[in-house]
Amino acid sequence: MSESEQGLFELPRKYLELQVEARALAESVRDIAARADESDGIDVDVRKRLQATGLAGVTVPSRFGGRFEEVDSLAVTVIRERLAAECGHLDSLFAMQGIGSYGLSVGGTPAMQEYWLPRVANLDAIAALGLTEPDVGSDLKALTTSIEEVDGELVVNGHKSFITNGGDADFYSILGREGEGYSLVLIPADTPGVTTERPHQIIAPHVLSDVILKDVRVPLDHRIGQQGKGFSLVLATLATFRVSVAGAAVGLAEAALKEAVRHANGREQFGVSLSRLGSVPEHLAMCWTDIEMARSLTYRAAAASARDARANLHLSSMAKVAATEVAGRVVDRAVQVMGRYGITRGSNIERLYREARPMRIYEGSTEVILDSLAKQLVKDGTL
């Protein structure tokens, strides 16, 4: 086998180096990870440690102060894999810098890009994306937030719900109706009329707020991209970042399996190691198999997305479904293997169990993604 064939299914050096960098960062927050993962506001120390690495620059193109020429889905994915294994809070903080700012990177006015994006890249400004509303989740086209051009300004009214980084963000990329279409508009958090409230606590604490916009006025250049074309920027964001959720899910699942293996190796029942008892070895081996399967698809989809995110959205979507469903199965089996120690409050496995659950809901729920994949499959008629 030639050298290039041997490397066919290996990550190129650039990504291996990023993995090493991300692993070092993840390990550096180990002492504060539990505290940060219980917090519903951005942890100052986690932010500082991420900032010190410069890794957030991966979420912004280099012409605006980021690390690589373009935002690279595979780079984001391998980093998230390492971060999510140690600290969900850190993973979310890293990923949202890209998810909240990508529309601006590809469609903003030069002045807005030059002002905000270097700050996003070095974590001086926190980004957020506001799509969801109290009565609107998967069916985004039903959203009611309004954007109107009045006297040379944009006036925004609406209520965004479950917004990651809400309350702590420096700006919100908000999707709203404008005329017959939908526009994306950048709203600095300190604009008069912007308020936040935290009515929800979820099972895996997360920096989440509702963002209320009441007669919020911003200059016209705060519209990101063309009037009425906001959905295409949201789609571009999903196409670039959806696969990175799969990376986070693989990392989380692997961390759960490690916990289960450690526990099974260290405990005896009926005079034998738990790791050799009944169906336990089968559970462990099946988890390992599931994780490797999910990782292979995730890396392949992320590499395809890095080449052409829109053309390969079907692969990113499959990876997101596959890896998050695997994470759900793996944490459940890991908890079972660990018995009562798997459901002890404050334990690492309990945290992983809770953090795996929302992954199957946000950035396209499993069912919604499968529905659109099925439509594409039937329409195209070929595999």
Ligand X SMILES: Cc1cc2nc3c(=O)[nH]c(=O)nc-3n(C[C@H](O)[C@H](O)[C@H](O)COP(=O)(O)OP(=O)(O)OC[C@H]3O[C@@H](n4cnc5c(N)ncnc54)[C@H](O)[C@@H]3O)c2cc1C
Q: Which residues bind ligand X (CB under 6 A)?
A: 129-132, 137-138, 162-164, 202, 206, 208, 358, 361-362, 365, 367-368, 371
Q: Which is nearer to ligand X, 35 or 354 (CB)?
A: 354
Cβ(274)–Cβ(280) below 8 Å: yes
Please give the Cα distance from 263 to 8 (Å, whole number): 35
Q: Are 174 and 158 in contact (CB under 8 A)?
A: yes
Task: Name the residue nearer to ligand X (CB basis): 107 or 166.
Answer: 166
* Distance separating alpha carbons of residues 121 and 229, to the nearest angstrom: 25
CB of 11 to ligand X, least distance (A): 28
> In this complex, which beta carbon is closest to ligand X, that of residue 178 or of residue 303?
178
Shortest distance (Å) from residue 151 CB to ligand X:
29
Closest approach, Cβ 271 to ligand X, in A, equals: 44
**Least gap, CB of 160 to ligand X (angstroms):** 6
Between the alpha carbon of residue 151 and those of residues 143, 155, 193, 273, the distances in Å are 24, 10, 18, 74
Q: Where do we find the tokens 């990870």? A: 33
d(CA 213, CA 247): 33
Cα atoms in the Cβ-side hemisphere of radius 13 Å centred on 314: 10
Q: Which C-beta is closer to ligand X: that of 303 or that of 319?
A: 319
- 131 vs 147 by CB, closer to ligand X: 131
Helices (H), ranges, 220-312: 230-265, 280-307
Report the C-alpha gap between 256 and 61 in whole angstroms. Answer: 33
Q: How far is the CB of 62 from ligand X (least distance, A)?
A: 25
Choice between 282 and 367, CB closer to ligand X = 367
Place of tokens 């957030």: 56
Q: Determine the distance from the C-alpha atom of residue 75 to the mean position of all C-alpha atoms in its chain, rounded to a whole number.
A: 13
CB of 27 or CB of 40, closer to ligand X: 40
Q: How far is the CB of 166 from ligand X (least distance, A)?
A: 8
Coil, helix or strand at residue 70: coil
Shortest distance in whole angstroms from residue 263 CB to ligand X: 28
With CB atoms as reference, the residue minimizing the distance to ligand X is: 137
Quote the strand ranges of 139-266, DSSP E.
146-150, 153-164, 171-178, 181-188, 194-197, 208-219, 223-224
Please give the Cα distance from 237 to 310 (Å, whole number). Answer: 10
Closest CB 139 distance from ligand X, rounded Å:
6
Q: Per this entry, what is the length of the chain?
A: 383
Of 77, 81, 97, 75, the closest CA to residue 26 belongs to 81
Nearer to ligand X, 211 or 280 (CB): 211
